[in-house]
Amino acid sequence: MWLLDKMLSKLIRTGRLTITDYNGKVYEYGPGDGETVRVRLTHRKAAAHIASYPQIGAGEAFMWGWLEVEPPHDIRDMVLFVTGQSKAFADKAIQPQGPLKRLVQKAAAKADSINLRVKARKNAEHTYNLTRRLYELFLDEDRQYTMGYHRAPDVSLEQAQLDKKAHIAAKMYLKPGMKVLDIGCGWGGLALYLHKHYGCEVLGVALAPDQIAFCKERAKAEGVDDKVKFALMDYRDVEGQFDRISSVGLLEHVGTPQYPGFFEHTNRLLKPDGVMFSHCCGRTGPPGFTDAWTRKYIFPGGYIPALSELVTESERNGWQVMDVEAMRFHYSYTLEEWYNRTVMHRDEIVELYSEEFYKMWLFYLVGAEQSFRNGGMVNWQLVYVKDRAAIPMTRDFMYEESERLRGSDVAPLWHLDPALREAAE
């Protein structure tokens, strides 16, 4: 317990954290000037396991029942309480302690990010081929598994995700009937949205079989499977020319060793006057590495990039970055709602998987939330072009189109094109 005691004595500066060790000894941290969070360690190895590598140790201790948070608080309260002690220290607090451990973890993370085709498919299946019902229980109705655009903190998850799609579509500067490639299409929500509002022909590609099967079911049910098509395909195998390319929540899974190939191949796929839009989680500081817990349990092969990595590699492959937006706290609100919905459906998730899986999922969600709320994570939205005349000179078009799309009685833009309207009828 001495190592954990030493770490917490330095970290807890407000409120109070009370830990009862497995042998019944009580440790108190902080001045006690605010809320008190009480934690009980139920296994003799728990303290050492947590202190040796705070994030993977704390997550596993919680999963295995070695760490229990006493009511009325829960694991989310504990994680946000600890990481909120010093926002500048939040990300450092969960990194491996000591230069040798950091070097080893960095090397392991680098090797893990080499996502060749077979490995990339296995990684996608690990993350996205879980039971369909699981995602139905905590995502919005459209199954958007990325940050919602929270125009206000108290907006509903469904509205935030709808506004996110409007925000993305507006930045893509779409015209009726364009041909769009959606890389990492998820469960098809954005592809269907773009077709609905612009009459676009969309090809969505992803590597998780159940995702693609679900996408095809949706397109067929909506009677648009001739215009919105989905393929179980690596983006590196896509051929043809497209007016627009979108990737939402994809680059986190590509891996930095594959960035040159990604930007080179997408540059070849986009028409000379085209636009590519990318939305991904990002870090506000310099390049880093993915923690061991996330790589092991949630996103094997995943890496959250720094802006410098995205810009440098794109420039080397013929791209011009025309617009960058840092979405700071939006994802924390999305993750909070996902956490609440997961807790609400605890019994069903335990029945689908296990108590350990349920706890793992909770820790994943709150761990991600704290990174966007107290740490140094953001969402990057970038607009890339090959010709800088491809989009208007000012950003007004983004705001105007986003507002139009959010209108309650908005008519699809493609209705203004007689040829497209006649073809649809």
Q: Which of these ranges, 49-58, 163-172, 233-242, 375-384, has the smallest mean pLDDT?
A: 49-58
For residues 71 and 132, state if they share a domain.
Answer: no
Quick check: bond before 71 cis, omega within 30?
Answer: no
Cβ neighbors of 358 (< 8 A, separation 6 or more) are 342, 346, 349, 350
Q: How many CA atoms lie within 13 A of 276 on its CB side?
A: 26
What DSSP line would sit under 198-231, residue for residue? H--EEEEEES-HHHHHHHHHHHHHTT-TTTEEEE
pLDDT tens-digit map of 364-376: 999 999 999 999 9
**Number of domains the chain contains:** 2
Q: Percent of the chain scored above 90 by pLDDT? A: 76
Is 101 within a domain?
no
Confidence of residue 231 (pLDDT cuts 50, 70, 90): very high
Mean pLDDT of 349-367: 95
For residues 90 and 122, state if they share a domain.
Answer: no
Is 301 within a domain?
yes
What is the layout of strands, in order, in the sheet containing 36-41?
A: 26-29, 16-20, 36-41, 67-69
Tokens of 146: 């990325």
Return mean pLDDT, the chain: 88
Confidence of residue 163 (pLDDT cuts 50, 70, 90): very high
pLDDT tens-digit map of 392-417: 999 999 999 999 999 855 656 655 55
CATH number for the domain that contains residue 221: 3.40.50.150
H-run or E-run covering 39: strand 36-41
Query: What are the beta bridge partners of residue 280?
Result: 380
pLDDT higher at 156 or 54: 156
For residues 257 and 340, state if they share a domain.
Answer: yes
pLDDT higher at 394 or 256: 394
For residues 30 and 147, state if they share a domain.
Answer: no
Is 107 within a domain?
no
Contact 279, 249 (CB under 8 A): yes
The pLDDT value given to residue 117: 56
Residues 420-423: contacts with CB within 8 Å, 24+ apart?
Answer: 420/176, 420/177, 420/199
Is 105 within a domain?
no
Is 341 within a domain?
yes
Confidence of residue 126 (pLDDT cuts 50, 70, 90): very low
Decide which of 94, 128, 146 is a domain's last residue: 94
For residues 67 and 170, state if they share a domain.
Answer: no
What DSSP line would sit under 353-409, residue for residue? S-HHHHHHHHHHHHHHHHHHHTSSEEEEEEEEESSGGGS-SSTHHHHHHHHHHTSTT
* Angle (CA) 197 203 206, round 5°: 120
Is 349 within a domain?
yes
For residues 64 and 132, state if they share a domain.
Answer: no
Is 109 within a domain?
no
DSSP summary character for residue 141: T
For residues 64 and 124, state if they share a domain.
Answer: no
For residues 191 and 302, state if they share a domain.
Answer: yes
Most confident segment among 9-18, 122-131, 330-339: 330-339
CA–CA dist 294, 245 (Å, integer): 28
Contact 380, 310 (CB under 8 A): yes
What DSSP line would sit under 305-365, residue for residue? PBHHHHHHHHHHTT-EEEEEEEE-SHHHHHHHHHHHHHHHTHHHHHHHS-HHHHHHHHHHH
Confidence of residue 290 (pLDDT cuts 50, 70, 90): confident
CA–CA dist 77, 79 (Å, integer): 6
CATH number for the domain that contains residue 68: 3.30.1050
Decide which of 37, 59, 94 is a domain's last residue: 94
DSSP summary character for residue 53: S
CA–CA dist 243, 172 (Å, integer): 10
CA–CA dist 414, 391 (Å, integer): 19
Residue type for 113, please?
S
pLDDT tens-digit map of 76-113: 999 999 999 876 444 444 454 555 454 444 444 454 54
Cβ neighbors of 396 (< 8 A, separation 6 or more) are none
The pLDDT value given to residue 413: 62
Question: Domain residues for 304?
Answer: 117-424
Is 143 within a domain?
yes
H-run or E-run covering 260: helix 259-269
For residues 130 and 194, state if they share a domain.
Answer: yes
For residues 70 and 124, state if they share a domain.
Answer: no
The pLDDT value given to residue 100: 46
Looking only at the bridges linking them, the beta strands covering 67-69 and 242-248 are unpaired
**Residue 212, pLDDT above cutoff 80:** yes
pLDDT higher at 237 or 412: 237
The pLDDT value given to residue 409: 57
For residues 141 and 24, state if they share a domain.
Answer: no
For residues 203 and 325, state if they share a domain.
Answer: yes
Tokens of 10: 């330095």
Confidence of residue 273 (pLDDT cuts 50, 70, 90): very high
